[in-house]
Structure 1
């Protein structure tokens, strides 16, 4: 009798109760976990940096907000200088609320995590706030120069101060448009671009190498060199004006203070025969 043929398990045919082979590990996920654990997670010194950023954030936000509220609620504080100081505070609030958190995350993770749209918006607002702060300081110096060196030439009013502030913001918003146009978000690891935003970089992309040199040179002149020269000349002339002239009221106050001792010396001279009068009168003559 021929043995009955019993079909045994064949290669490649799954059978019941047979264990499936484990799936191959996802090397991309393993790589991302490695990056987070050993590279992106904050180190000890980075926690110190985080604490410093948080302290600066709250101090700057609360302090500048209180300055704005103080001028807004007290009408007697709405002077020309205080209007410009409020404008400085608004620029600082803009940097603190929008740019500071993004800068902290970029410093810690070394990646841009906010996408393409914010890659254009945040650097643009940061450049605008810098321009507003610098131009405001320049207008403060110019206002003080007019008030001290040429008090009758230009009358500074709160209305003109508000107009100057609007002009500062308009110029800053217009001049910094190229900053938003050239910012692009790219990934250092293109194969992981669809999986994660880690190692994405927000940086300038120019069509020609000559353009960034021209732009950054103009940026340096407009936001640093020209305002620095203007403020240096204004405050130097203010210093010369105040240093070279006697403060009004000083001579009359000095004479009033020395009248009483001189009268006493005359009375004493008449009684004792002393002669302190010429010295006192000589001092008054000087």
Structure 2
């Protein structure tokens, strides 16, 4: 983040006095040591920030890599939704591996240390990753909306999903080119530019003050506000469809049957000893499908909510800074610096949060994560875990059989 005051005011050294009096030979070296020791060296609370960045870096890289490996190794997990989740993980890996270290150093030292070329590349890749994440979440919401609310209008396939992913990357790479074009690296102290990269800044340079206002207003609407609004509408309709008894012949039939259990006791006793009707089995498959869709919808809604919360602070701060020109002559510089630093960390924390969400809300991903960690750490009690797993599988099978008998017999009495 660039300094908001002049170097003389920040360091306490009057600029006029330095120009009036001749400098000793070691003045520049002593001045640089002073800047590093009292201004640029991490403070105590910044060490906490460094630890938080390192934790996010490790969790994001390991978690998103496991997500990609889980889908790649298991053919039954290669669904349309999981293809988009893998693309989301690839974007998170990109922004974590390339952009997070640079962002950490900039937030701590308030200096750009990577030269002119990377000043254009790293912000460009960060903008591309944001665009990929937003377009991927939008594609997931659109796919789920068609599959649940309008299944006859559009048939999603793995081939179409791969084509959509290629289109997402192509659009993101093309649309974010202006971000790389306007980025330039400059030194706050030009007389020390050849001696050190400290107090160098990588920031946007526009020909007119109107252009950044238009650009960042459009950026905020296109990459945050409009997609969130459309996705919220899509998931609201999905929620009504899955939880509002909108699926024909599913919830209504069960409700009618379960409201009158005394009338069906004799028929249920006959149904337990006979084979259920084919329509009853189709009905049970429909119930299972609805439950699976509910679990997937819950997970995707949580992913969208976490994304909205993590990207909200930096989106609002960028609009206030670039569009409305705030924070240029702010008196409480440390508070503003802390807000921007925390908002940067939240963006990367979103990349680490997604694999955790998959682990808690998706049984398939959770099993694959456990299998991966058991292979890497075989000494974590494999015997006890194996016995526990077999016991849990037996209990699940027994419970599943009982529930299937109850549902099948109930449906047999309801369906003619």
Q: Residue 147 of structure 1: SS of its match in structure 2?
A: helix
What stretches of structure 1 move > 2 A for 4+ residues in a row?
1-25, 239-286
Name the SS of the counterpart of 1:18 in structure 2: helix
CA contact (8 A) 1:269 1:276 kept: no
Stretches of structure 1 that go unaligned for 5 or more consecutive residues are: none
| Cα distance in 2 for residues equivalent to 1:199 and 1:41 | 12
CA contact (8 A) 1:185 1:200 kept: yes
1:12 Cα deviation after fit: 40
2:7 & 2:280 partners in 1: Cα distance? 135
Deviation at residue 45 of structure 1 after TM alignment: 0.8
Conserved in 2, the CA contact under 8 Å of 1:268 and 1:274? Answer: no
Instruction: Give the number of aligned pairs.
Output: 286
In the alignment, is the contact (CA less than 8 A) between 2:91 and 2:133 conserved in 1?
yes
CA separation of 1:215 and 1:2: change in aligned 2, threshold 3 A? closer
Within 1, Cα distance between the matches of 2:57 and 2:76? Answer: 30
In structure 2, what is the Cα distance between the partners aligned to 1:239 and 1:46?
A: 42
**Distance across 2 between alignment mates of 1:119 and 1:3:** 17
1:182 aligns with 182
Deviation at 1:236, TM superposition (A): 1.8
Structure 1 residues 99, 266: CA separation in 2 closer, same or farther (over 3 Å shift)?
closer
Say whether the 8 Å CA contact 2:111–2:201 is kept in structure 1: yes
1:70-122 CA distance string (max 9 Å, x none):
11111111100000000110111011001110011001111000000000000
Larger radius of gyration: 1
In the aligned structure 1, how far is the partner of 2:262 from the partner of 2:3?
A: 147
Q: CA deviation at 1:5?
A: 67
Q: 1:242 Cα deviation (Å)?
A: 2.8
Determine the C-alpha separation between the residues in 2 that align with 1:57 and 1:42. 19
Q: Which has the higher helix share?
A: 2
In structure 2, do the counterparts of structure 1 residues 162 and 33 end up closer, same or farther at CA, with 3 Å as the change threshold?
same
Counterpart CA distance in 2 for 1:23 and 1:167 is 59
Q: CA deviation at 1:185?
A: 0.3
Relative distance call for 1:147 and 1:16 in structure 2 (3 A) is closer
1:239 deviates by 2.2
Q: Distance in 2 between matches of 1:142 and 1:48?
A: 40
| Counterpart residue number, 2:233 | 233
Q: Indicate the structure whose relative CO is greater, using CA pairs within 8 Å and at least 6 residues apart.
A: 2
- TM norm structure 2: 0.56
User: CA separation of 1:247/1:208 partners in 2, compared to 1, >3 Å: closer, same or farther?
Assistant: same
1:187-238, CA deviations, whole angstroms, 9 ceiling, x for partnerless residues?
0000000100000000000001111111112211211122112102211222
Long gaps (5+) in structure 2: 287-416
